[in-house]
Amino acid sequence: MSQPFRVHLLGFSEFERTALGSYFRLASNRVPCFQQVANAADAHFLVVDADQPGAVRAAQAAGRLAQAVFIGAQAPDGAAAWMARPIDPLHVLRELDALAAALMPAPRPAPAGNGAVRTVIQPPRPGQPPPRRFNDTAEERIGVPQAAPPPPQPAGRNALLVDDSEVALRFLESKLQPYGLRTARAGTSVQAIEMLRQRRFDFVFLDIELGQQSPLDGIALCHQIKRAQALPAGQPLPVVTLVSAHATDIDRVRGALAGADAYLGKPLDDRALAQVLVDHGVKAAAPA
């Protein structure tokens, strides 16, 4: 296995640094791979919190903008790449791959006649306008108008279920009925945001893959909810649980970075679901 490229994180919360470092370790069997280091001078590349002016100035002062990936509201001129929050480690890895490709030796041609074909990550073409952008102004892309303040809701616990599969929605709804939760369904991220602005929910259960009809996937929608960008002003944040057939350690790190309170795999485990609800004050209703 090739030696890892060294990456230094500038800024970010302790949790974000730990989560990104964990993601690099979990993805250490790929090529190229990356390793978090403590000093910028020892690093091949930087990942910079663009929302912290001190971190941006440090990258500028070190003359490292061309080797830096910025995450946040905006990036300075000369940055190699930029992406908006939420932090998606897959996108971070993709941008680091592009930077690493420029430092990797060119592949040797395969011997004639053996039929071997090699696929190599190509460096950015000259003249390609940096930086690349991901998750650009989600509010503008989804085009959801600002709603009026939500009307008062009766006492009780409400859960919003978000999935592009009607079968999956009904199945999850049946699992929540014994807990006395009132449920509502949304098939896309746009519908979910509209409902969140019209009604208060105590729980949101999100599938990660919401299909082509959704401008946001579950990870991005979770981040919108947890930063209160999808909620009326002053409304308490709901408990967000991601539900996905992809439940590896790497997937769980992505969910944690987006602010998810829990992560459940598919097929749904009854005990794991019960634990999430019990942890947040919900117990199964008594038999009729």
More confident residue, 112 or 75: 75
pLDDT higher than 90, residue 124: no
For 78-113, the pLDDT digits (tens) are 999 998 887 888 888 888 988 988 887 655 555 555
| Residue 224 binned pLDDT confidence (cut-offs 50, 70, 90) | confident
Question: Given pLDDT bands bounded at 50, 70 and 90, which one contains residue 283?
Answer: confident
The pLDDT assigned to 245 comes to 86
In the chain, where does DSSP find H-type helix? Answer: 14-26, 53-61, 89-101, 138-142, 166-176, 189-198, 218-226, 249-258, 270-279
Higher pLDDT, 162 or 74: 162
Q: What phi and psi, each to the nearest 5 degrees, are found at residue 203?
A: -135, 145
Residues 6+ apart with CB under 8 A from 229: 138, 139
How would residue 232 be classed by pLDDT, with cut points 50, 70 and 90? confident
pLDDT exceeds cutoff 90 at 201: yes
State the pTM of this model. Answer: 0.56
Q: Please give the residue that has the higher pLDDT: either 124 or 278.
A: 278
267: pLDDT confidence band, cut at 50, 70 and 90? confident
Which residues belong to CATH 3.40.50.2300 in the chain? 5-117+130-136, 142-279
What confidence tens digit (pLDDT) does each residue in 35-73 have? 999 999 999 999 999 999 999 999 999 999 999 999 988
pLDDT score recorded for residue 18: 84
Out of 12-26, 45-59, 213-227, give the one with best mean pLDDT: 45-59
> Is pLDDT above 90 for 155?
no
Mean pLDDT across 156-174: 91
- Listed in sequence order, the residues at least 6 apart from 3 whose beta carbon sits closer than 8 Å to its beta carbon are none
Candidate from 36-50, 219-233, 252-266 with smallest mean pLDDT: 219-233
**Contact indicator for 238, 201 with CB cutoff of 8 Å:** yes
Please state, in angstroms and rounded to a whole number, the distance separating the CA atoms of residues 178 and 165. Answer: 22
CATH architecture of the domain with residue range 142-279: 3-Layer(aba) Sandwich (3.40)
The top-level CATH class assigned to 5-117+130-136 is alpha beta
Cα 264 from Cα 66, distance rounded (Å): 39
Q: Is the pLDDT of residue 142 over 70?
A: no
pLDDT value at residue 250: 82
189/155: higher pLDDT: 189
pLDDT at 49: 93
First to last CA, the chain: 60
pLDDT mean over 257-263? 88
Please, which pLDDT band fits residue 143 given cuts at 50, 70 and 90? very low
